[in-house]
Structure 1
Amino acid sequence: MPLDVADADDTEEPPLSNDLSTTEEPCGLTRVAEDVEGCYTFLTPNGTKVWCPNQDRDTKPIVGATYGCWNDVLRMYKNYAECSGFSVRIGQTKKNKDDQVTHKYLRCNKAGRPQSKRRFDTLDESSMYVRKSSFQVTDCKARISVQVSEAESTFVVYKFVECHNHPLIEPYNRDFTKAGRKLSFSTKQFIHHMALNRIGPTIAHRLQVSMKGGHHNVNGTPTDFKNFSQAIRLFIGNRDSQLLLDRLRDRVKNLPDFYFDFSVVKGELRHVFWVD
């Protein structure tokens, strides 16, 4: 069966039970801590510690559940991950000989085997540059496996691995996750309106934190606000001069005593004069 992505992890059977319950101790696991920050801690027979989210049945994936489209499956698992304290990564896709999708996987974003640090010569200018990153994978096996029937347009969850081999993110720090840092449309609009009033992204973030009662209620960090503000400027690019002239023309239409004039030299706006 051909695979879209060469990743052997998804074809291997996880060492833990497929249906791990947090209300009862899973077979072979010993509970070592009660519900702390929304999860239970267990010990496997070989002494490895695992973390299982404490979520009700309305939130967690159910083996045998059927969905009408892939987006519904993705939305369900992302909502479960957001409530539990981890992020989701789309795994591999399996296809049959007729090039039809038969299986899909959604995994914890810490899935994958850790790689050893690459060695390179710091004195060699042509040597490969290694980007620094604080993110680490732990070969986490938490995932859901979905059987796909394109003919019937059904997506059935047939495997659910619940436990993680790494601590989950605490509720008060979940605004720093990838999903928590995603700027909503209203936040983007707020940054843009602040920029129009000559208020920078850093102060705009402070205002949002103050108005919403804390940083945990605000989507995005000051860096995310800066990145979006920069993206707006790059989108405007060399059209900022035209935007300025259009705004001045609007003022002429709405303000009877307003007047402006400008000069262009070799296609560049050189001088602008206005009086109110």
Structure 2
Amino acid sequence: MENVNPDLEWSNFPEVSCVPLCSAELIPIVGKNFNTLDEGISFYDAYARATGFDTRKHGNKASRELVTWQYLVCNRQGVKKGIEIDQIHAREGFITKRRRTSKRCGCKARVSLKYVFEGSFVGYVVHEFVDVHNHSLIELPLRRWMHLNRKLDEVHRKFIWDCTKANISPTMTFKFLNEFLGGYDTVGITLTELRNYVHGLKSYVEGSDAQMLLDEMRRRKEACEGFSYQYQLGSENELKSLFWFVNVIPEKYYNGRWLKSALGKAVHGNLGKELDAPVNAKQLAKNKAYRIFYGLIQKYEGDIDKITSFSAGMLEYDRKKESDSPNMSVGENGNTVEDFYSIERPALVEVQPPNVVQTKGSCSDSASRLVSAKEKAVVLASKPKRRCGKCRELRHHDSRNFRKNMETTKALVISSTISIFQHFLHC
């Protein structure tokens, strides 16, 4: 099956061309072998990362789910779609999205990987490699913004989860992450990508958060006899109000949550039998692993060779244990997102979230919000003009507010004149 048939018959490079320089070990020369397709793609990405350009896949050819050809090109390959394409789509009934600026300039740098089965070797080989670019490469201080150097991995996800649970804003989370990972050059993501991920976590329960809250209240009432709650619904089954209270403090919370210190027992006497809180063995094991990991990182911080060996050892251990447990990425499926909320998303939503009250910006229809000067000018311009009985001109005032309008106009003219005069004095 052929997904894309890219035109690889490119020639006639422009007079101004750029050939990246790097060590010979990073260059994907023709004939270089790779055991897997991912290994070949990663090698070309490493070459692009070291020289200063982004890459993207440009189609492949497959036979019975086996990729026989894989094409990789510079991210600036191709040209921007013109208005003719938009007109064709309009005639066919497609709605063209807003047009954005494009950095594509028809770059011809590319590499093609071919699946081979020769003798004892089974894998992929570099069939064609073009290293000439028709644009300047990204300079070293700006390479941290490249797509290849930005990836939201497990470290970012776990850190964002913990900060979001602690009600820390995305901006402060990004600042903490910068300090934790060594600065903007090594953080690996941008603030916008972090905000988008937090938005994705919240959008997972959009429309069912009120039902999830009531389900949690019901579970608490079943677990504690003294717990009770009441709620009211609106005309469209939206949650209007919620009230909960505890008649009897659970005995297991006497010396834990409700009394802040051990002095509570001495002051209030023996409040009942102390019950130990259940111990989460999984969390204790994770905490121990965290202590060992960060302890070794601090120990080997000054020796890059030991840190590299330590990382290689962890990767080797992960490869050995990979077959024992499935590879599940944080936040990539519903189960792990439900772990973030500690509650399952209900299949049936009977109670809708409350209506959101918006009193800021143009999204609100409230009469009490502050209207900006720009909005006032737009509304005024849409109104038809009428002839004033005093100035006899078509304006947005009449004879009743003529004097007030003239005073306002006069004050604006004087203020503008003073500003221009002060500008010439400074010049």
- TM-score after normalising by structure 1: 0.69
Greater length-normalized contact order (CA 8 Å, ≥ 6 residues apart)? 1
Do the aligned partners of residues 243 and 106 (structure 1) sit closer, same or farther apart at CA in structure 2, a change above 3 Å counting? same
Q: CA deviation at 1:184?
A: 1.7
Q: CA deviation at 1:239?
A: 4.9
Please say if 1:112 is aligned against 2:117. Answer: no
Please say if 1:92 is aligned against 2:59. Answer: yes
Counterpart residue identity of residue 139, structure 2 = E
Of the three residues 183, 190, 194, the one matched with 1:225 is 194
Q: How many angstroms apart in 1 are the aligned matches of 2:146 and 2:232?
A: 49
Counterpart residue identity of residue 183, structure 2 = G
Q: How many angstroms apart in 2 are the aligned matches of 1:196 and 1:149?
A: 50
Q: CA deviation at 1:228?
A: 0.3
1:133-144 matches, within 5 Å, as 133-144=100-111
Q: How many angstroms apart in 2 are the aligned matches of 1:127 and 1:102?
A: 34
Counterpart residue identity of residue 196, structure 1 = K
1:209-220 matches, within 5 Å, as 209-220=178-189
1:22-171 matches, within 5 Å, as 48-94=15-61, 102-117=68-83, 128-149=95-116, 153-171=122-140
- The C-alpha deviation readout for 1:74-122, integer Å capped at 9, x for no partner, is 11111111122111111233468x998543211111111343346979x
Of the three residues 202, 206, 215, the one matched with 2:175 is 206
Gaps of 5+ in 1: 17-45
- The C-alpha deviation readout for 1:36-67, integer Å capped at 9, x for no partner, is xxxxxxxxxx6x22222221122121211112
Of the three residues 140, 150, 161, the one matched with 1:181 is 150
Counterpart residue identity of residue 83, structure 1 = A
SS of 2:185's equivalent? helix
Tell me which moved more, 51-60 or 146-155: 146-155
Preserved contact between residue 103 and residue 145 of structure 1 (Cα < 8 Å)? yes
SS of 1:49's equivalent? coil
Preserved contact between residue 34 and residue 40 of structure 2 (Cα < 8 Å)? yes
- The C-alpha deviation readout for 1:182-222, integer Å capped at 9, x for no partner, is 21211122112111111111221122224444322212211
Structure (1 or 2) with the greater strand fraction: 1
Residue matched to 2:306: none
Q: How many angstroms apart in 1 are the aligned matches of 2:68 and 2:86?
A: 42
Q: How many angstroms apart in 2 are the aligned matches of 1:148 and 1:119?
A: 35
Residue matched to 2:357: none
Preserved contact between residue 260 and residue 272 of structure 1 (Cα < 8 Å)? no
Q: How many angstroms apart in 1 are the aligned matches of 2:180 and 2:112?
A: 42
1:239-250 matches, within 5 Å, as 239-241=208-210
Identity rate of aligned residues, in percent?
Answer: 27
Counterpart residue identity of residue 60, structure 2 = T
- The C-alpha deviation readout for 1:231-271, integer Å capped at 9, x for no partner, is 0011233454576578889999xxx9xx7533356787652
SS of 1:203's equivalent? helix
Residue matched to 1:28: none
Preserved contact between residue 220 and residue 227 of structure 2 (Cα < 8 Å)? no
Q: How many angstroms apart in 2 are the aligned matches of 1:251 and 1:53?
A: 63
Tell me which moved more, 229-238 or 145-154: 145-154
Counterpart residue identity of residue 158, structure 2 = Q
Do the aligned partners of residues 154 and 245 (structure 1) sit closer, same or farther apart at CA in structure 2, a change above 3 Å counting? same
Residue matched to 1:271: 242
Q: How many angstroms apart in 1 are the aligned matches of 2:245 and 2:126?
A: 66
SS of 1:76's equivalent? helix
Q: CA RMSD in A?
A: 3.8
Structure (1 or 2) with the greater helix fraction: 2
Q: How many angstroms apart in 1 are the aligned matches of 2:132 and 2:80?
A: 19
Do the aligned partners of residues 105 and 192 (structure 1) sit closer, same or farther apart at CA in structure 2, a change above 3 Å counting? same
Do the aligned partners of residues 262 and 177 (structure 1) sit closer, same or farther apart at CA in structure 2, a change above 3 Å counting? farther
Residue matched to 1:5: 4
Tell me which moved more, 147-156 or 177-186: 147-156
Q: CA deviation at 1:133?
A: 2.3
Preserved contact between residue 5 and residue 60 of structure 2 (Cα < 8 Å)? no
- TM-score after normalising by structure 2: 0.47
The alignment covers a number of residue pairs equal to 237
Q: How many angstroms apart in 2 are the aligned matches of 1:179 and 1:245?
A: 44
Do the aligned partners of residues 86 and 265 (structure 1) sit closer, same or farther apart at CA in structure 2, a change above 3 Å counting? same
Counterpart residue identity of residue 92, structure 1 = G
Preserved contact between residue 181 and residue 224 of structure 1 (Cα < 8 Å)? no
Counterpart residue identity of residue 73, structure 2 = R
SS of 2:173's equivalent? helix
